[in-house]
């Protein structure tokens, strides 16, 4: 157990985790309001906002609802009703952005996105033809009076339709099959592009489904369900099989939200609540359309309404083989500014190199068509001993991870599945090569997943190294993972790597304590940290303590931030910024001043309870001076950003940072792209 050598007030305060998360989503919504952001990108930010909110309801709302219904709360400042109030305000803002800004801007481009309005007579024939030729094949009509087992799938779209006939009024459910065909139908008439929601195509033709009956009402709805996997790790049996069963059941989880179109009759709402088991769900009146993450798929072709293209930079190596280059020096890749080819080449070279004997890798989120997995399969077929740790509990990617695990296992890859009650979130790979009786290690250590798809939009950092001692520690960690136990059978000593839950938290606390001592001695002392999420209170308390001692603490926190900055007597020396831009900021970086000789670590670990206590995480040092300077420069540009960065104040507001000189505005992602391009 770590014990601090310093004493400080423990009367600390924290932002609520969920309110902080919603503050991040408000920042995403802010990008959709910016006139300076290209039109299609503003629409994509609306899509991201909608997707984030769906995830919040699937992942966080079940916990809030359970605490509320049990009368339990560990929050001093927030309640379920307050969270709902924040969400309602954000959804109202979303609607105003859509109707008052996005739709008029599209009209100026001769694009008419029909948004809760009648279908023009001029295109009606084409819409009707599309309904019969394409849509009708996927429609399913459910008579609620004749079934007791209808269970709407999670996050799928439906219509509640009431009709009147000779026998009285009846309620039907009709699916909106956006999981099979495009959410949008587009047609051009007299130079004007019309785009219709699939919802409206069906509504316009709903009378054709219920011929000779009077349609009284037709309103869309969707149900969001609990996405948490309730795995009982005490049960014996194959974990992969258990999780496959849980995935199959996930769409039948607790309903956390029933979202419906305005105007839905009260009696219909009441019937749906009763028949669909929605008594405990949040009943939310939304807008005319739901599941608006689909907006990112709007059929718009005009390149002028998108970000200007940034071709990825190809990292040039001097040696004939990548392994030879790595032996000569450590390399640092920064996707998506750099292409991902170097990572693919690392595994491709390993797969065909006759001297490579073993390959170890941890995979958290596998790409849908993973070229890395294909290379590992080839390596196994070429006689290498390939060991892959596949995390089966990677939320929303469980099914894809299991699919690839089965493929690799069939090819002779040794697959290690999840450790019970412990996720493996580390992003590490080791290649063991033996030539001329000499064993050499080559490794990859990353801040993000080995996933070539997300590498095109997530900013991450990947170290290629032949540091033999560090890589032997990684091999030791893989041997521990093979045991599939929470604690090692024999003690593990890490002198280079910081590994949660073993030494990572303690080492970071020690490094902060060192800065505290330097500040107390009158020396310059600073801590600079970039994270996705900051929640764990022991580490937050240590940062508060550092602030009280006079250490300058600068944080870049993209999403959840429970630390309250700028509070006199607690955190007046702490500054927190957040960047939302074309790329998702995803890298984790830790810089400690260390009397002018900075100690710099990169890694997979956010400072969340789950990362510190319930996950295997790896952070790693940068030893090469050139790479340390490179990371320091990247962070400096981000901290100086006056275009896309905001300050998080002590009220959790996203406060714009204004340049003192307008001509001196700093756009960090653009500057990083230019600087890396200039290095070629």
Asked if residue 507 and residue 431 are part of one domain, the reply reads no
Asked if residue 478 and residue 513 are part of one domain, the reply reads no
Within-domain flag for 3: no
pTM of the model: 0.91
Asked if residue 534 and residue 550 are part of one domain, the reply reads yes
Residue 188 — very low, low, confident or very high, per pLDDT cuts 50/70/90?
Answer: very high
Question: What integer is the mean pLDDT of 578-583?
Answer: 97
Least Cα distance to 19 among 527, 653, 672, 669 occurs for: 653
Asked if residue 488 and residue 520 are part of one domain, the reply reads no
Query: Given 277, 305, 333, which residue is the final one in a domain?
Result: 305
Say how many C-beta atoms besides its own lie within 10 A of residue 460's C-beta: 26
* 400 has pLDDT over 70: yes
- Compute CA distances 49 → 32, 53, 293, 638, whole Å: 9, 6, 8, 23
SS3 581: coil
Within-domain flag for 483: yes
**DSSP per-residue letters across 280-310:** TSEEEE--S---GGGGGG-----GGGSPPP-
Residue 248 — very low, low, confident or very high, per pLDDT cuts 50/70/90?
Answer: low
Asked if residue 381 and residue 249 are part of one domain, the reply reads no
* 680 has pLDDT over 60: yes
Asked if residue 663 and residue 622 are part of one domain, the reply reads yes
Task: Determine the distance from the C-alpha atom of residue 277 to the mean position of all C-alpha atoms in its chain, rounded to a whole number.
Answer: 30
CA dihedral defined by 74, 575, 333, 630, rounded to 10 degrees?
-150
Within-domain flag for 317: no
In the numeric block, the tokens 């300050």 are attached to: 647
pLDDT in tens, 438-454: 999 999 999 999 999 99
Asked if residue 39 and residue 87 are part of one domain, the reply reads yes
The percentage of the chain sitting over the pLDDT mark of 70, rounded to a whole number, equals: 91
Task: Determine the distance from the C-alpha atom of residue 330 to the mean position of all C-alpha atoms in its chain, rounded to a whole number.
Answer: 29
Within-domain flag for 33: yes
Asked if residue 512 and residue 480 are part of one domain, the reply reads no
438 backbone dihedrals φ, ψ, rounded to 5°? -120, 130
Within-domain flag for 649: yes
Sign of the alpha-carbon torsion through 224, 226, 228, 231: negative
Say how many C-beta atoms besides its own lie within 10 A of residue 410's C-beta: 11
Q: What is the pLDDT of residue 479?
A: 92
Asked if residue 466 and residue 358 are part of one domain, the reply reads yes
pLDDT in tens, 592-650: 999 999 999 999 999 999 999 989 999 999 999 999 999 999 999 999 999 999 999 99
* 670 has pLDDT over 90: yes
SS3 398: helix
Q: What is the pLDDT of residue 383?
A: 97
Considering the candidates 219, 291, 374, 425, report the single residue annotated as catalytic: 425
**Two tokens, residue 36:** 């300076």
Within-domain flag for 313: no
| Alpha helix ranges (H) inside 329-487 | 341-352, 371-381, 398-410, 468-483
Strand partners, 555: 529, 576
Asked if residue 88 and residue 58 are part of one domain, the reply reads yes
Buried b (16+ CB within 10 A) or exposed e, 426-456: bbbbbbbbeeeeeebbbbbbbbbbbbbebbe
Query: Given 468, 492, 516, which residue is the final one in a domain?
Result: 492
Question: What integer is the mean pLDDT of 659-666?
Answer: 69
CB-CB contact of 391 with 364 (8 Å): yes
Pairing of strands 584-585, 526-531: unpaired
Q: What is the pLDDT of residue 423?
A: 87
CA dihedral defined by 535, 539, 542, 548, rounded to 10 degrees?
-20
Query: Given 458, 492, 526, which residue is the final one in a domain?
Result: 492
In the numeric block, the tokens 């870049």 are attached to: 556
Asked if residue 125 and residue 196 are part of one domain, the reply reads yes
**Two tokens, residue 523:** 């020396």
CATH of residue 164: 3.30.1840.10
**DSSP per-residue letters across 193-244:** EEEEEHHHHHHHTHHHHTTTSEEEEEEEEEEEE-------TTS-S-HHHHHH
CB-CB contact of 474 with 431 (8 Å): no
pLDDT in tens, 89-130: 999 999 999 999 999 999 999 999 999 999 999 999 999 999
3-state secondary structure 53-86: HHHHHHHCHHHHHHHHHHCCCCCCCCCHHHHHHH
pLDDT in tens, 295-318: 999 999 899 999 999 999 999 999
Within-domain flag for 6: no
pLDDT in tens, 334-372: 999 999 999 999 999 999 999 999 999 999 888 889 999
Within-domain flag for 314: no
**Two tokens, residue 237:** 């049996």
Structural domain including 614 reads 499-678
CB-CB contact of 465 with 326 (8 Å): yes
CB-CB contact of 32 with 77 (8 Å): no
Q: What is the pLDDT of residue 41?
A: 97
Least Cα distance to 419 among 228, 612, 614 occurs for: 614
Asked if residue 341 and residue 294 are part of one domain, the reply reads no
455 backbone dihedrals φ, ψ, rounded to 5°? -65, -15
Is 425 an active-site residue? Answer: yes
Structurally, the chain folds into a number of domains equal to 3
pLDDT in tens, 508-553: 999 999 999 999 999 999 999 999 999 999 999 999 999 999 999 9
* 77 has pLDDT over 90: no
CATH of residue 404: 3.30.870.10
Q: What is the pLDDT of residue 48?
A: 97
Mean pLDDT of the chain: 90
Q: What is the pLDDT of residue 112?
A: 97
Q: What is the pLDDT of residue 78?
A: 59
CB-CB contact of 214 with 165 (8 Å): yes
């Amino acid at each position: 157990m770590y014990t601090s050598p310093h004493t400080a007030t423990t009367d600390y305060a924290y932002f609520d985790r969920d309110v902080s998360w919603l503050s991040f989503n408000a920042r995403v919504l802010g990008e959709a309001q910016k006139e300076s952001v290209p039109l299609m990108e503003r629409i994509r930010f609306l899509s991201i906002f909608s997707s984030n909110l769906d995830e919040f309801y699937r992942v966080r709302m079940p916990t809030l609802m359970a605490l509320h219904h049990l009368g339990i709360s560990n929050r001093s400042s927030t309640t379920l009703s307050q969270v709902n109030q924040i969400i309602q305000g954000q959804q109202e803002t979303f609607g105003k952005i859509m109707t008052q800004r996005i739709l008029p801007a599209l009209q100026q481009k001769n694009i008419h996105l029909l948004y809760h309005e009648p279908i023009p007579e001029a295109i009606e024939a084409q819409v009707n033809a599309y309904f019969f030729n394409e849509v009708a094949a996927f429609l399913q009509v459910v008579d609620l009076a004749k079934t007791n087992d209808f269970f709407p799938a999670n996050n799928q779209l439906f219509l509640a339709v009431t009709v009147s006939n000779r026998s009285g009024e009846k309620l039907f459910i009709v699916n909106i099959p956006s999981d099979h065909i495009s959410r949008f139908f587009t047609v051009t008439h007299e130079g004007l592009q019309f785009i219709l929601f699939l919802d409206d195509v069906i509504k316009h033709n709903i009378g054709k489904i219920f011929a000779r009956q009077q349609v009284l009402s037709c309103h869309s709805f969707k149900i969001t369900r609990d996405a948490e996997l309730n795995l009982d790790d005490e049960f014996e049996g194959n974990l992969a099989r258990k999780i496959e069963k849980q995935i199959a059941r996930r769409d039948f989880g607790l309903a956390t939200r029933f979202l419906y179109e305005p105007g839905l009759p009260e009696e219909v709402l009441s019937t749906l609540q009763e028949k669909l088991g929605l008594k405990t769900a949040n009943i939310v009146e939304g807008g005319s359309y739901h599941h608006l993450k689909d907006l990112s798929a709007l059929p718009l072709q005009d390149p002028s309404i998108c970000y200007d293209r940034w071709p990825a930079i190809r990292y040039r190596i001097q040696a004939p083989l990548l392994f030879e280059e790595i032996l000569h020096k450590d390399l640092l890749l920064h996707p998506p500014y750099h292409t991902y080819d170097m990572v693919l080449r690392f595994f491709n070279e390993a797969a065909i190199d006759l001297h490579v004997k073993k390959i170890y890798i941890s995979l958290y989120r596998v790409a849908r068509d993973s070229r890395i997995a294909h290379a590992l399969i080839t390596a196994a077929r070429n006689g290498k001993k390939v060991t892959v740790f596949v995390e089966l509990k990677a939320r929303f990617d469980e099914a894809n991870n299991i699919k690839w695990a089965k493929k690799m296992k069939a090819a002779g890859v040794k697959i290690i599945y999840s450790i019970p009650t412990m996720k493996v979130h580390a992003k590490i790979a080791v290649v063991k090569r033996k030539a001329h009786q000499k064993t050499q290690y080559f490794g990859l250590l990353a801040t993000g997943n080995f996933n070539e798809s997300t590498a095109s939009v997530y900013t991450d950092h990947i170290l290629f190294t032949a540091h033999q001692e560090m890589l032997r520690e990684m091999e030791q960690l893989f041997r521990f993972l093979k045991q599939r136990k929470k604690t090692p059978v024999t003690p593990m000593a890490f002198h280079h790597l910081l590994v949660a839950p073993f030494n990572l938290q303690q080492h970071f606390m020690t490094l902060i304590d060192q800065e505290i001592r330097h500040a107390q001695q009158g020396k310059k002392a600073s801590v600079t940290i970039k994270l996705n999420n900051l929640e764990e209170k022991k580490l937050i308390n240590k940062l508060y303590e550092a602030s009280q001692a006079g250490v300058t603490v600068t944080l870049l926190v993209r999403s959840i931030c429970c630390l309250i900055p700028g509070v006199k007597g607690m955190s007046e020396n702490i500054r927190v910024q957040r960047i939302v831009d074309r790329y998702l900021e995803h890298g984790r970086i830790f810089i400690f001043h260390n009397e002018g000789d900075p100690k710099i670590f990169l890694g997979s670990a956010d400072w969340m309870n789950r990362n510190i206590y319930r996950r295997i995480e790896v952070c790693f040092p940068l030893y090469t001076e050139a790479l340390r300077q490179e990371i320091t420069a990247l962070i400096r540009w981000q901290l100086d950003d006056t275009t896309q960065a905001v300050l998080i104040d002590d009220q959790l507001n996203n406060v714009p940072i204004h340049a003192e000189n307008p001509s001196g505005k700093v756009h960090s992602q653009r500057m990083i792209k230019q600087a890396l391009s200039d290095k070629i």
